[in-house]
Structure 1
Amino acid sequence: MKISATFTLLSIFILPLCSTPAFSQSTSKSKIEEAYRQFEKDPALKNGTVSLTVLNANTGEPIFQQNQQVGLATASTMKIITAATAFDILGKDFKFKTNLYYTGSIQAGGVLHGDIIIEGSGDPTLGSNRYPESQEEQLLNKWIYTIQSAGIKEIQGRIIGDDSRYGGYQVPGGWIWSDIGNYYGAGVSSLNWRENAVGVVFNPNSTIGKPATIEKLTADLSYLKIVNEVSTGKNGSGDNVYAYSGPYASNIYIRGTYGLDLKKTIEISVPDPAYDVAFQLSKALSHVGIKTAEPPSNGKAIASTNIAKQLLDTHESPDLANIIYWFNQKSINLYGEALVKAIAYQTAQKTETNEGTSLIQKYWENKLQISSSELNNQDGSGLSPQNRVTTAAMAKIMQYAQSQSWFPEFYKSLPEYNNMKMKSGTINGALGYTGIHQNSSGEKFTFALLINNYSGSSSAMRKRMFTLLDVLK
């Protein structure tokens, strides 16, 4: 009787505890399934495609999957894959280095018979105002002090922005013309500067349809011709301004409308960042009395990679964890492209974007058996409309991330939407969210939701997506 009573008593307490996870997962699955079925009935999805993968974050087991093997445009949710790859390959403490050199010799009276060279290694934060130690004014002052300390008072040469490591300034293949002239479509080189962008401050006309004049730029681009064709839009019309240029362009065309009541600095891309940093340093040196005999130049001015150089200074970027924080928080496309190239260069001495994306595909194929058709990435940021990735692959990589030593930094980088930690993505006709969430019952999920070719406004569709994801709370 005692044995039987003991067994019965233990059964009361043990059996429900053992069955809780299975019951919980079953309950979650039915709730998600019901919410998904309601969601897919939305008329805005009549001609669209929806894919959702939800995994048990503790076990990796699928809780719900629909169209999980269909490759879809990712928009900025691609950044999750780039960030995880960079953390795993480069390490969270990885830093870019930018070297300041001089060539030739310093003669009597402090005359440098040679050039000053700023040699980049791909740092996307150089000159960025997001980091105190990397801000434009801070760096220029540091370099001026270093040059002065070397005894240089005159330069019988020029300032060269050396962007030769990656073959100059490029944009990934597949990016569209209406994007690359704007800050979010800025290209990448081994010498990026001020996030390869500049701000334009407009002064709208009091009459709708009349020209909105440019009041100022946030940096001196007097070496470029800016053609302003922007007109004033009505109150509430917002920012419909687009810049048109490309790598090494000498003209920038700015078109569209700027709302009468808008108070916003418009960010456009700079066509040659390596030249721009050389120009800004040359100008700053001139202000302190150090003249250069020749005009500034980019890396094309360097005839030989074997030229003798004397090191003046090495600037280190913030560590990778800090870079990825802003990469995901503010969805900075440039950072993604810089990381793809860094991965390619550090692992295989490759420099092309397509070589980097191919290496990322092979990495996850070896690591998690994700095939290249599941992870068909054309860039590192998600700006290319040609990206095609499955939610199964995306959720699987998110699942992998949480078991790695760098996960706390990765998790911190995720923005918060709808009271959930997840990365968003928005591009024409595509919306997405991918993240990790623990609900009030203690259940933990990794998930990816992608929608392509929906109709109606993006804001309305986001609200519907949040309602669907609310079932995970």
Structure 2
Amino acid sequence: MKQILLTTTVICAYVLTIITTPLFAQDTRSKIQDAFTQFQQQESLKNGLSSLTVLNAKTGQTIFAANENVGLATASTMKVITSATALDFLGKNYQFKTTLYYTGDIDENGTLNGNIIVSGSGDPTLGSTRYAETQASTLLNKWVSLVQNAGIKSIHGSVIADDRLYNGNQLPGGWIWTDMGNYYGAGISSLNWCENSFGINFQPSNKVGTKAEIIQDTTRAPYLNIINETTTGKVGSGDNVYAYAAPYSTKIFVRGTYGQDLKKTIELASPDPAYDLAFQLNAGLHKQGIFTSEAPATGIKMDSIDLTKKQTLDIHLSPTLDKIVYWFNQKSINLYGEALLKAIAYTTAGKTGTDDGAYYIQKYWNAKLGIKSSELNSMDGSGLSPQNRVTTLAMTKIMQYAQKQSWYPVFYESLPTYNNMKMKSGTIGGALGYTGVHTNKEGQSFTYTLLVNNYAGSASSMRQQMFKLLDALK
């Protein structure tokens, strides 16, 4: 009798699970639908477009989808696609390599009749302060010591930063003039240095509207001419300073306002990061009494260099890809995305163009998940281009795929936390987005992407409305 009762109890529990699970899912779907309907009714979206896709993170089944097949500007949510592709294709232990070597011979007096050359393969962390082993002072001191240890006391030649692999310093197509002079719009080179940026500090005036002086300019880059047109903003106005320049510019125009109470270093894009590396290494050698007969140079000089005699002094390996992806997503570093995009293209087919990288990412996810190029139409790896168009369904499918992979823990760790949810954000003019994963208090797990384009009003106000919508997943 006890056995019969036990069996009956198990059967009842099983039947109850079958009945309640769809009802539970239906309740969640209705909750999201109500929240999305309310979200779309706000005046700020009268002329805008929003798309939301929510999948069951465990089964991949669609819980809710609206405008899921419409391609929208992604902003920095594009970074999760680049991250997932790099981790899946290159592997979490992938490392970039930078080589220091010299050409020619060292005579009996310690004179190198040749050149000191640093050759890059696209490492975005070289000179970065985010890792102990990549900091500029650490690398420069090590390289200067290695030159000394090689018995070199003077150089009849120059220090050359070989940036030829990616054809110098370039910008992805679609990036705009108001971005490219600032740190977040820095170009990509095969020999990046200090995240291709540098800082300036201002002294605001006591009078609003008058000039804010640069009190500490780029002493590390005296070859640049910074034309300061920045004025002092009122207390609380913050940082409204923008730099205007392009790759290989020697003039950088700095405009906008700097708040009276602001104490912040303004980061600008380095117009020629490879040259800056050569310049800094050359200066470091000079400090140790090792002088060069020629000025520092970049890869454009390599065609005239005799490479029949060369000796490697150092091979520097970047942090592993999992550590790069962490900062890439946590701090939304556009340079890292472009470096990963090019690494994917170069590893796949020896190509180095941004468009090549975008093509191979599209091809990769078409083969993996059947995502069409019209669903994943990207112009870069970071999302800074306003021309990117991706559907929320495509992005959510890639996020869903990531959760089944061995590298997922490091990918998940790289996602920032907003609104008490793990998700990557994206913000550019007129576009906001969030994509992430979340497990609610009932144990339901979701994968989701929410993109909004052409909204009216402030970004902060729209962001709060988006958070309110995503609260339906909690």
TM-score by length of 2: 0.98
Look up the match of 2:454.
453
Look up the match of 2:378.
377
Amino acid at match of 2:65: Q
How far the C-alpha of 1:304 sits from its partner, in A, is 5.9
Cα deviation per residue 1:33-81 (whole Å; 9 max; x = unaligned)? 1111111101110000000000000010000000000000000000000
Look up the match of 2:276.
276
Look up the match of 2:396.
395
Look up the match of 1:347.
348
Decide whether aligned partners of structure 1 residues 306 and 372 sit closer, same or farther in structure 2, where only a CA change above 3 A counts.
farther
Amino acid at match of 1:178: T
| CA distance in structure 2 between the aligned counterparts of 1:381 and 1:180, rounded to whole angstroms | 13
SS of the residue 1:302 aligns to: helix
Cα deviation per residue 1:360-408 (whole Å; 9 max; x = unaligned)? 0000001100000000000000000000000000000000000001000
Look up the match of 1:135.
135
Structure 1, 211-220 or 376-385: larger mean CA deviation: 211-220
| CA distance in structure 2 between the aligned counterparts of 1:6 and 1:240, rounded to whole angstroms | 71
Amino acid at match of 2:342: K
Look up the match of 1:62.
62
Look up the match of 1:165.
165
Amino acid at match of 2:466: M
Q: How does 1:233-252 map to 2 (within 5 A)?
A: 233-252=233-252
Look up the match of 1:175.
175
Q: How does 1:246-325 map to 2 (within 5 A)?
A: 246-303=246-303, 307-308=307-308, 309-325=310-326
| CA distance in structure 1 between the aligned counterparts of 2:14 and 2:316, rounded to whole angstroms | 60
User: In the alignment, is residue 206 of structure 1 matched against residue 206 of structure 2?
Assistant: yes
Cα deviation per residue 1:250-288 (whole Å; 9 max; x = unaligned)? 111111111111111100000000000000000011011
| CA distance in structure 2 between the aligned counterparts of 1:201 and 1:461, rounded to whole angstroms | 32
Look up the match of 2:35.
35
Structure 1, 410-419 or 209-218: larger mean CA deviation: 209-218
| CA distance in structure 2 between the aligned counterparts of 1:264 and 1:244, rounded to whole angstroms | 19
Is residue 69–residue 390 contact of structure 1 (8 Å, CA) maintained in 2? yes
Is residue 199–residue 219 contact of structure 1 (8 Å, CA) maintained in 2? no
Look up the match of 1:359.
360
Look up the match of 1:148.
148
Decide whether aligned partners of structure 1 residues 305 and 420 sit closer, same or farther in structure 2, where only a CA change above 3 A counts.
farther
How far the C-alpha of 1:140 sits from its partner, in A, is 0.3
| CA distance in structure 1 between the aligned counterparts of 2:305 and 2:114, rounded to whole angstroms | 15
Look up the match of 1:186.
186
| CA distance in structure 1 between the aligned counterparts of 2:343 and 2:259, rounded to whole angstroms | 40
Look up the match of 1:101.
101
| CA distance in structure 1 between the aligned counterparts of 2:95 and 2:140, rounded to whole angstroms | 20
| CA distance in structure 2 between the aligned counterparts of 1:293 and 1:300, rounded to whole angstroms | 18
Amino acid at match of 2:385: S
How far the C-alpha of 1:234 sits from its partner, in A, is 0.9
Decide whether aligned partners of structure 1 residues 219 and 67 sit closer, same or farther in structure 2, where only a CA change above 3 A counts.
farther
SS of the residue 1:281 aligns to: helix
Structure 1, 209-218 or 275-284: larger mean CA deviation: 209-218
Amino acid at match of 2:174: G
Cα deviation per residue 1:134-183 (whole Å; 9 max; x = unaligned)? 00000000001110110001011000011000111000011000100000
User: In the alignment, is residue 71 of structure 1 matched against residue 74 of structure 2?
Assistant: no
| CA distance in structure 2 between the aligned counterparts of 1:8 and 1:465, rounded to whole angstroms | 47
Runs of 5+ unmatched residues, structure 1: none
| CA distance in structure 2 between the aligned counterparts of 1:156 and 1:306, rounded to whole angstroms | 14
Amino acid at match of 1:45: L
How far the C-alpha of 1:109 sits from its partner, in A, is 1.3
How far the C-alpha of 1:7 sits from its partner, in A, is 5.4
TM-score by length of 1: 0.98
Cα deviation per residue 1:297-341 (whole Å; 9 max; x = unaligned)? 111110068723211100110000000000000000000000000
How far the C-alpha of 1:18 sits from its partner, in A, is 3.2
Look up the match of 2:405.
404
SS of the residue 1:165 aligns to: helix
| CA distance in structure 2 between the aligned counterparts of 1:24 and 1:218, rounded to whole angstroms | 60
Look up the match of 1:50.
50
Cα deviation per residue 1:176-211 (whole Å; 9 max; x = unaligned)? 001000000000010000000001100111111111
Structure 1, 212-221 or 79-88: larger mean CA deviation: 212-221
Cα deviation per residue 1:229-260 (whole Å; 9 max; x = unaligned)? 11111111111111011111111111111111
How far the C-alpha of 1:23 sits from its partner, in A, is 2.4
Amino acid at match of 1:336: G
Look up the match of 1:83.
83
How far the C-alpha of 1:2 sits from its partner, in A, is 8.3
SS of the residue 1:30 aligns to: helix
* Number of equivalent positions: 473
Look up the match of 1:335.
336
Look up the match of 1:423.
424
| CA distance in structure 1 between the aligned counterparts of 2:366 and 2:5, rounded to whole angstroms | 54
How far the C-alpha of 1:3 sits from its partner, in A, is 8.6
Is residue 127–residue 195 contact of structure 1 (8 Å, CA) maintained in 2? yes
| CA distance in structure 1 between the aligned counterparts of 2:299 and 2:184, rounded to whole angstroms | 24
| CA distance in structure 2 between the aligned counterparts of 1:397 and 1:97, rounded to whole angstroms | 29
| CA distance in structure 2 between the aligned counterparts of 1:306 and 1:109, rounded to whole angstroms | 21
Is residue 143–residue 313 contact of structure 1 (8 Å, CA) maintained in 2? yes
SS of the residue 1:337 aligns to: helix
How far the C-alpha of 1:17 sits from its partner, in A, is 2.5
Amino acid at match of 2:80: I
| CA distance in structure 1 between the aligned counterparts of 2:339 and 2:417, rounded to whole angstroms | 24
Is residue 198–residue 219 contact of structure 1 (8 Å, CA) maintained in 2? no
Tell me which stretches of 4 or more aligned residues in structure 1 moved more than 6 Å.
1-4
Is residue 198–residue 217 contact of structure 1 (8 Å, CA) maintained in 2? no
Is residue 78–residue 381 contact of structure 2 (8 Å, CA) maintained in 1? yes
Runs of 5+ unmatched residues, structure 2: none
| CA distance in structure 2 between the aligned counterparts of 1:3 and 1:120, rounded to whole angstroms | 73
Is residue 431–residue 450 contact of structure 1 (8 Å, CA) maintained in 2? yes
Is residue 103–residue 306 contact of structure 2 (8 Å, CA) maintained in 1? no
